């Protein structure tokens, strides 16, 4: 007699056994993502309420409705685009850093450390000083061009010698390029006292100059860059296996790396054009997100976007309230947060591949 009952049960249960942990993992990741979105909502509300000037609920409602007759209402109306810009900039820089770490397999990769922010800054101040650029859109295009040229240069220098583009060589090439480009920025700005004050303030990095016009001009670039990075997530997972294995599995390694790099450069440089160079965002957030969801870039991209938005909003709020009535630029706050983490990662025995 054939034992049809037990065989049928085993055949039915066997495929479900390995899938159950995956489903639980997805539920856990989904729960973490929902929790982070909740934290983001709280951070946005806090950013609108807190600042160097106290505001009441009536002022908040009036400011959100577009009224700006009183000082408190005007403060609220100014904080709304400032909060939106901080969220967008934080998300863009975090995702950019995540993608750069993925395509270079370098845990120290970051738009600032690899020199992209400085290259974008040099392009913008050169455009202002020599070509009279004045619109945010022109800043963005020039910044993307400068960041792309810097990325190509750093990759070329880091690829020289035995072993190709190793994480350590890319980090050293990026740091050296950033230092040299910073000197060029100073050389361009110093002979021009008419732009030096604004350029120096912009070089620190901040979101205090946010406006609706700037938001609408930068959003299309960030949307395109974000979509490209999200589309590249599966390819980044394959690159993590190594170029040879990824190629053997059918992945077009060069195309994936170039496309992902284009998205990362667009996000970092478009943000830098509007906010100035903000350091360490792309380094801190991806490492934190990996502790929550592992190394799957299909989850890391949305987690990094939300986490970056939270971190930059909180840093901006801290900068507003730490020394009233003056403000500390958000670039200084993120440097204070990111520098110790950079040192901790760099002090490992070796710069390992992700």
- Taking only the tens place, the pLDDT of each residue in 57-84 is 666 666 666 666 666 666 777 888 999 9
Domains of the chain, CATH where assigned: 83-346 (1.10.3470.10)
Copy the structure tokens of residue 353: 């591949």
pLDDT at 134: 83
pLDDT at 322: 85
Copy the structure tokens of residue 142: 């020039």
pLDDT at 300: 95
Q: 196 with 125: CB under 8 angstroms?
A: no
Q: Which of 144, 180, 167 is nearest to 272 (CA)?
A: 144
pLDDT at 349: 44
Q: 238 with 246: CB under 8 angstroms?
A: yes
Q: 73 with 67: CB under 8 angstroms?
A: yes
- Separation CA 50–CA 15 (nearest Å): 53
Sign of the alpha-carbon torsion through 292, 297, 299, 304: positive
pLDDT at 148: 96
pLDDT at 6: 42
pLDDT at 350: 52
pLDDT at 235: 93
pLDDT at 19: 42
3-class secondary structure, 96: helix
Q: Which residues of the chain have pLDDT under 70?
A: 1-24, 52-74, 346, 348-354
- Separation CA 98–CA 109 (nearest Å): 8
pLDDT at 117: 93
pLDDT at 73: 66
């Amino acid at each position: 007699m054939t034992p049809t009952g037990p065989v049928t049960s085993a055949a039915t249960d066997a495929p479900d056994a390995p899938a159950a942990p995956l489903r639980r993992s997805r539920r856990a990741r989904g729960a973490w993502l929902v929790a982070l979105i909740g934290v983001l909502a709280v951070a946005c509300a806090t950013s609108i309420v807190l600042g160097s000037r106290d505001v009441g609920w009536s002022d908040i409602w009036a400011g959100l409705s577009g009224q700006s007759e009183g000082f408190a209402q005007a403060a609220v109306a100014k904080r709304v685009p400032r909060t939106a810009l901080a969220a967008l900039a934080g998300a863009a820089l975090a995702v950019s850093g995540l993608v750069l770490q993925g395509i270079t397999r370098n845990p120290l990769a970051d738009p600032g450390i690899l020199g992209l922010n400085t290259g974008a800054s040099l392009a913008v101040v050169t455009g202002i000083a020599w070509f009279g650029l004045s619109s945010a859109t022109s800043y963005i295009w020039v910044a993307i061009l400068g960041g792309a040229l810097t990325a190509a240069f750093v990759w070329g220098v880091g690829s020289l010698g035995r072993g190709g583009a190793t994480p350590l060589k890319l980090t050293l090439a990026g740091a050296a390029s950033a230092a040299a480009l910073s000197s060029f920025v100073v050389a361009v700005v110093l002979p021009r006292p008419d732009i030096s004050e604004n350029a120096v303030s912009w070089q620190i990095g901040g979101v205090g100059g946010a406006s609706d016009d700037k938001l609408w001009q930068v959003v299309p670039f960030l949307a395109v860059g974000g979509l490209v990075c999200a589309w590249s997530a599966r390819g980044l997972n394959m690159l993590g296996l190594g170029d040879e294995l990824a190629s053997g599995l059918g992945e077009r390694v060069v195309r994936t790396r170039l496309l992902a790099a284009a998205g990362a450069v667009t996000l970092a440089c478009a943000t830098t054009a509007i906010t100035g160079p903000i350091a360490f965002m792309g380094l801190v957030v991806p490492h934190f997100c990996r502790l929550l969801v592992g190394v799957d870039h299909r989850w890391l991209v949305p987690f990094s976007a939300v986490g970056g938005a939270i971190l930059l909003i909180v840093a901006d709020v801290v900068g507003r309230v730490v020394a009233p009535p003056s403000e500390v630029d958000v670039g200084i706050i993120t440097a204070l947060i990111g520098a110790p983490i950079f040192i901790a990662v760099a002090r490992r025995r070796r710069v390992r591949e992700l």
